[in-house]
Structure 1
Amino acid sequence: MELKHYMDQHERIWEELNIIKALCKKRDIEQDAAEVALHINSLAGKLKIHLSSEDQYLYPSFLQSNDSKLVTMAVEYQKEMGNLLDVFTEFKEGFNTKFKILADKDRFYSEADKIVRTIEMRMQKEENGLYRLVK
């Protein structure tokens, strides 16, 4: 199975996450809120395409594998992280504009940290677990 496409998508998602983290780390949200919102929206599009593709094509192929370890891991990952798009969509809807971010800065920082860590964890698990079994 060719995973290059998924790894390329991960790379683009990592780029957005790193930009969002760097902007949040500056703690100058008054100045950076519009740019943060832009990258949240950009991440949303990339994440939606990536997760939809994984759910429609990649994970079903893993589940049909003859490799029981791969099947078990795929089932485990789906149970553990299957709602990531819903969780991210809720975050995005709450903070996809400068004004929404500035309206509740403390909550934004807290939620941004949580969602970034969740996405990073999923990609790390896939890259170091599932994807390595397939390569």
Structure 2
Amino acid sequence: MNIDKFKAQHIAILDGIARLREATQGGIVQNAAHIAAHIIKLSSTVKLHLKVEDSVLYPGLASDANPRLARLGERYQREMDGIAGAYFEFANRWNLADRVEANPEGFRADANRVLRALFERMKREDTEFYPAIEAAHPPA
């Protein structure tokens, strides 16, 4: 199972999180339009990544001959539901500059909580989940 596309999408998502962090550190109110635009762009990448995971990766693992890998895929898919829901609530709440400007500290707190959870999940996938997949199905 080739997971290079998933790894590349992780890099794009992590880059988007880093860009949001930079814009926030430069001043939330001053960069509200930039922050909202980054959220919209990041959301499209996250949405694509989740769609491909749900349509290709998780179904492939569910039917894998290795029961440990199938269970691991099921666990990761279940866990992602809550993280994805929280992310998309965050994105819908803060994808307009006027909302970010009106409540910069609310945005900061929400971003810290939601983006940290997303970041930590992707790091866990990179260090635990993807290596397990590649160990069971080495790239050609």
What is the rounded CA distance, in whole Å, between the counterparts of 2:133 and 2:79 in structure 1? Answer: 20
In the alignment, is residue 17 of structure 1 matched against residue 10 of structure 2? no
- The alignment partner of 2:29 has SS state of helix
Aligned to 2:137: none
Encode CA deviations 1:14-48: one digit per residue, 9 max, x unaligned: 1100111122233x112111111111000000000
**CA distance in structure 2 between the partners assigned to 1:122 and 1:60 by the alignment:** 20
Q: TM-score, normalised by structure 2?
A: 0.89
The number of equivalent residue pairs is: 134
- How far apart, CA to CA, are the structure 1 residues paired with 2:35 and 2:110? 13
Map of 2:80 onto structure 1 = 81
SS of residue matched to 1:29: coil
Amino acid at match of 1:93: N
Instruction: Tell me the distance in 2 between the aligned counterparts of 1:39 and 1:104.
Output: 17
Query: Which amino acid is the alignment partner of residue 18 of structure 2?
Result: N
Q: Identity across aligned pairs (percent)?
A: 27
Deviations 1:46-72 (A, max 9, x none): 000000110111011111111222122
Most deviating of 61-70 and 94-103: 61-70
- Correspondences of 1:10-89 after superposition (within 5 Å): 10-26=10-26, 28-89=27-88
Tell me how far 1:73 sits from its aligned partner: 1.4
Alignment gaps of 5+ in structure 2: 135-140
Which whole-Å CA distance do the structure 2 matches of 1:134 and 1:81 have between them?
17
1:78-117 maps to which residues of 2 (within 5 A)? 78-117=77-116
Paired residue secondary structure (1:65): coil
- The separation in 1 between residues aligned to 2:4 and 2:18, in whole angstroms, is 21
Secondary structure (helix, strand or coil) at the match of 2:30 reads helix
